[in-house]
Chain A
Amino acid sequence: MGPDYGDIDTPYKCGVNQVNMNQWTGLISTAFGIVYAIMSYTLPDASIGNPMEPKIFPLMLGIGVTICGILLIINESKKKSTAQEIKKERGKGLSHDSKLIIYTCVVAFIYALLFERIGYVLSTIIFMNAMLFVLNGKQKWKTNLIVSMTFSITIYLVFLKLLAIPLPMIPFLQI
């Protein structure tokens, strides 16, 4: 695995050395659990049967998440997290790249916006080229274009002809 680049959420860089990943998880879970439980409690009453009925189960879940979160925090603070351990954990980071993840999300978001507006084939070609551009490189734009066009047209035809599921069409052209 490669070194850790541009972490979104590694707390060590913020200078909070003693708080490790598990404690962060615990803290976030606890917060989520509490918010969830409160939201469950404030759900509208059921108009038939026991008015509390739709709330009980989610309430239990909210409490469950909270308990797990607290247990995580307690467990971690019991462990003596030595500097070595922290180092070890850092070394094991995944080979992700936060910029690329954000890029993918933005591209996917734009894809979703375009999907029904300009049709499946066009939007998919744009989306795949955007992805291939960063992964495969702009030098290989010919390959990128061929791959994306073949893919989108094949899928379109498979859905339309084989599965009889019409996908959004290119406006005006109706294909």
Chain B
Amino acid sequence: MLFKKAMTTMVAGTVIAAMLLTGCTSKPTATNGNADAEVKYPVKALEFIAPAGAGGGWDTTIRTVAKTLKDTKLVSVPMPVTNKPGGGGGIALAYLEEKKGSDDIITVYSPPLLLINLNGSTPLGYKNTTPLARLIADYACFVVAKDSPYKTINDVMDAIKKDPKSVKVGGTSAAGSMDHLQFLKIAKAAGVADVKEVDYISFQDGSGPAQVLGGHVDLLSTGIADAKALMESGDLRALAITADKRIGEGMIAEIPTCIEQGIDATFINWRGLFGTADMPEYAVKYWQETLKKMSETEEWKAACKTNGWDNIYLGGEDFVKFLEQENENNKVLLEEIGMLKK
């Protein structure tokens, strides 16, 4: 018995020692805050939240923010990122509501923040947060396979006008969310009468580009980053982007905007940072200043470039106004396809 016990303890000890050892070598300096003498806030570790799983747009954004803040020494306390996936961001929103008034929670959102509230997925919305700053924008693009009969976005719209079922539109997000709405917005502006009739097929596992490449859907409504590799290799052809001007460099800059092709509409996939509702004044002020500073650093600009983001900082009050405006626009569109929760 004694032997067994000793054995057990030994094994347990070895395992623990091994774990601690590897832990220490991998991350030597993650202890609690050494308070900066000049700034009283923040003094302890912050809680950065990605409202989705690892690897997606929200996750990438907030991890890049954390990295930039650390690299530029704008924030010296630890900023561990926690993933709170679920409900298209609604789970994280519920968590924010629960932690109302705390000063150390920062999260990231984009248009779905408005959409999940409008389509009734969650009763919570942007009003249950403190908008801090809009940081970046992605734009949507519409791509087809290289041998597709459609040469311009207008070819697609003409086909839809003749027979709404003739073009199968694919996208990554759920029906009634971003990829779907961005196409419908353009289609409506192009004069498609009944946008509700257009078939949208959601490939949430991210296989959209493969599906359009394999000829299973006719057109893919997506973000530029998701289709970039296949556009560069010539396997996919972009018909239009939804920005108001041409963006990027090289191949991306050759994609015409919808406006150029006579369709007067744009769609921005903005991303911004948010705190909890009733975030204390000093924290709000701190973050607005810090994020503005960050958006002007070389490190941030470089990160935007590698990710293909447009650096469109918008702070405080202006951001809130922007959100209100966006919310109204989306409401109209969702109403049209009958997905607005009344």
Chain A: residues with CB nearer than 8 A to chain B?
A: 47-49, 150, 154, 157-158, 160-162, 164-166, 174
| B337 proximity list for chain A (CB < 8 A) | 47-48
Contact B24 A161 (CB under 8 A): yes
> How many Å lie between the Cα of A125 and that of B273 in the bound state?
37
Cβ of B16 under 8 Å from chain A: yes
- Bound-state Cα–Cα, A161 to B21, Å: 10
Say yes or no: A154 contacts B339, CB within 8 Å. Answer: no
CA distance A7 to B32 in the complex (A): 52
The distance in angstroms between the C-alpha atoms of A158 and B199, with both chains bound, is 48
Residue B305 CB within 8 A of the other chain: no
* Interface residue? B206 (CB, 8 A): no
- Contacting residues, chain B, for A47 (C-beta < 8 A): 176, 337-339
Q: What is the minimal beta-carbon distance from B91 to any residue of chain A, in angstroms? A: 14
Binding site for A on B (CB under 8 A): 12, 16, 19-20, 22-24, 26-27, 30, 32, 44-45, 47, 80, 82, 175-176, 196, 199-200, 337-339
Closest-CB distance, B21 to chain A (whole angstroms): 10
Chain B residues whose CB sits within 8 angstroms of the CB of A150 once the complex forms: 12, 16
Q: A47-B337, A150-B12 are in contact. Are A161 and B82 (CB under 8 A)?
A: no
A-B contacts at CB below 8 angstroms, number = 46
Given A158-B23, A162-B27 in contact, is the A48-B16 Cβ separation under 8 Å?
no
A161 pairs with B23, CB closer than 8 A: yes
CB B34 to nearest CB in A, in angstroms, measures: 15
B23 touches which of A49, A162, A174 (Cβ 8 Å):
A162
- A residues in contact with B44, CB < 8 Å: 174
27 cross-chain CB contacts under 8 A: A48-B176, A48-B196, A48-B200, A48-B338, A49-B175, A49-B199, A150-B12, A154-B16, A154-B19, A157-B19, A158-B19, A158-B23, A160-B30, A161-B20, A161-B23, A161-B26, A162-B22, A162-B23, A162-B26, A165-B80, A165-B82, A166-B45, A166-B47, A166-B80, A166-B82, A174-B32, A174-B44
Given contacts A47-B338, A48-B196, 13 further A-B contacts (CB under 8 A): A48-B176, A48-B200, A48-B338, A49-B175, A154-B16, A154-B19, A158-B23, A161-B20, A162-B27, A164-B27, A164-B30, A166-B45, A174-B32
Measured in the bound complex, the distance between the Cα atoms of B44 and A150 in whole Å is 26
CB within 8 A of B80: which of A154, A158, A164, A174?
A: A164
The 9 closest A-B pairs by CB, nearest first: A161-B23, A162-B23, A47-B338, A47-B339, A154-B16, A158-B19, A164-B80, A166-B80, A48-B337
Closest chain A residue to B20, Cβ basis: A157
Residue on A nearest B180 in the bound complex, by CB: A48
Q: Which residues of A contact B19 (CB under 8 A)?
A: 154, 157-158, 162
Query: Nearest chain-B residue to A151 (Cβ)?
Result: B12
Cα separation A162 to B23 with both chains bound (whole Å): 5
Minimum Cβ distance to chain A for residue B15 (Å): 8
Smallest CB separation, A147 vs chain B (Å):
8
Which residue on chain B has the smallest CB distance to residue A153?
B16
Considering the chains assembled together, what is the distance between the CA atoms of A160 and B19 in angstroms? 12
Smallest Cβ distance from B19 to chain A, in angstroms?
A: 5
Residues of B within 8 A of A174 (CB): 32, 44
Contact A48:B80 (CB < 8 A) given known A154-B16, A162-B22: no
- In the assembled complex, how far is the CB of residue A120 from the closest CB belonging to chain B, in whole angstroms? 14
Given A150-B16, A154-B16, A161-B30, decide whether A48 and B175 contact each other with a Cβ distance below 8 A. Answer: yes
